[in-house]
Structure 1
Amino acid sequence: MTVTTPPASRAAEILSRPIALNGLTVPNRIVMAPMTRQFSPGGVPGEDVVSYYSRRAAAGVGLIVTEGTYVGHDSAGQSSRVPRFHGEEQLAGWAKVAEGVHAAGGTIVPQLWHIGMVRKQGQPPVADAPAVGPSGIRLDGTEGEGRAMTRQDLDDVISAFAEAAAAAERIGFDGVELHGAHGYLLDQFLWAGTNRRTDAYGGDRVARTKFAAEVVAAVRESVSAEFPVIFRYSQWKSDNYDARLAETPEELEAILTPLAAVGVDVFHASTRRYWLPEFEGSDLNLAGWTKKLTGRPTITVGSVGLDGDFIKGFMGEGSPLKSIDDLLDSLERDEYDMVAVGRALLQDPEWAAKVLAGRTDELSAYDAASLKTLG
């Protein structure tokens, strides 16, 4: 008689395996994806933020990546309610967050962020700061307000990322994630659509990695050797889902290799739907290709757990089962290493606990209208 492992049990078994990320051991394969909430007036995370992250760590999330936090550069952000990762009061708040997550049994890294040309003139937290980017070009291709970064600007932003990373280690975080995705500053340098520089920071794909690689190298230098550095990147941009950094694996390798060489320990490959193949002729998604090309551990992300079909897949009902099997098969084959969950964890802080315990009958489909708060 053939014994088939129920999907829920198999998911619990595969996702519950620990993993080492440089010097950090994460207790399981579930990551909380970064999600901007604007619940930190003055950029200071309060006790509600401590509770928000600690609650999810206590419920089994192995690694928490915080919402994006602004580095210490005047042009880094566009909201006074997004947390900052600089300043005495702000860092004291973050230290309490890290302490709370550790007490709950989880691990946590801040996502360090500069929005670049997404910023509009007059926005807080520094109203008179200009938008800056590689060429002063916005994601839609217009010049508008803002300017191309000078050598001094480049140096200042590199220092801001390095100082934030050093602060993260100093106040007790387990690593850092650099936000190089979705059309924000580091991604603006990587993408030909926004990087039209004619100096060493523009040109072909390798040249366009120079700024991001210098940020990574400075971060790596500012923290201990075993402190994990995660780099999040994407093909798509926040207002351009068809944008691509690379059309082939070879082009992707040209972008990722310089970043891995200077100190990226883990790549967080952001896609809108994790199950879609990235290039023709292979079933590998973006995270799968990233690991194949760099040899680094990778995190996959994109619509995990958002719909009823996904839930039915866990329960072994109907055709969606294949998509669940594909996710677990890929993890089991080490095509990628971890799975980031975003909005499903907003709706249900116990999501990880239910999946890891095989209690998938208690899961419900994501419903944005049902979210009264994001606590």
Structure 2
Amino acid sequence: MRIRFPGTAGHAGWPAPQCTCSSCNKAQADRRLPLRVTVDELFRVREGGAVGPVPSNYTVASTPEGTLVQGPIGGRLLLARSTPGPLSGAPSADAGPDTSSYASAPPQQVDMVIVDAAQRPEAIGELRRSGVIGTTTAVVAVGGDHRVRSPEEFARRARLWGALVPSDGSDMPCPPSVWPESRPKGPRRTLVTGGSRSGKSTEAEIRLLAEPRVVYAATGPVPDEAQDPEWAARVRQHAQRRPWWWHTEETSDLAALLLHTRGALLIDCLGTWLAGAMGRHGLWDEEAPEGAEEALEAEIRDMLEAWRSTRAYVVAVTNEVGSGVVPATRSGRLFRDHLGRLNQWVGAESEEVVLAVAGRVVELP
């Protein structure tokens, strides 16, 4: 089959009519029409079915994963569902990070998947988890519009997810003849640093949306609604925006997670982990116990050794230090010093370090 894309953008196009936002201004040089997908120039596919008569030697079916098209001489195309919610028959999110069994037979692998990567990029990870996207499946990212800050940013995200970004008027064979560059896989380490509310956690989550198995390491204190409702609300907000199949580990034992996790691991964040480690060794007290700093440094060394040795694809969030005032307390200065050194050591052992500033990401060479 030949899959043609007369349009590749969201429902209003990119730039949207009469819109003067910065994203639409940046899209002026490469204008894109609303998404339109045709098969062999015979009929059009949309979410929920086909437009126009479908020849008898083609099959178009609505499935829990989206609209499935099968050609007369091979080729299986899926226009992925853009509405949220788990796939039909998918295992429970509480089953753990390595669950691969389904209540019913899992969906079959297809040759090409078209995903609205502005509306629902996590569909890529969900379909990889279910087996619809395999190693020989071409993932095509469409739907870009002013929900993303620029066409360049849309393309950057697609590269992280292992997806192709077609231009208007392009066509692709299904089964495909080309695939995108391989997305990052383990062992690989990425450190995302930035100030408060800089967008660093969002960037870390974006990087792992297309992964089929993700362990989310929550290193902060376990929320207590009665004692600290504001912290509990923050934790709930973070959890609600994560894909349903991500497995959360509320733990301070990062060394064990780094050594035993396979697939992808998101650590959020090293700053709260260090704060907890200092608390475990009494370093927030006015008079720290004897040997407390040595014990903390030993725990940091163990974590760093596990960071070097991990087999997972790890994305860790940390807090940037040194951009504000000098802390007023001894323990505050101690935390700043330890975190600054920890960031340097982790950065030195990472394939990639990025800085989040005002919601934008700068790659650090």
- TM-score normalised by the chain length of structure 2: 0.32
- Going by fraction, where is helix more abundant, 1 or 2? 1
- TM-score normalised by the chain length of structure 1: 0.31
Is the radius of gyration larger for structure 1 or structure 2?
2
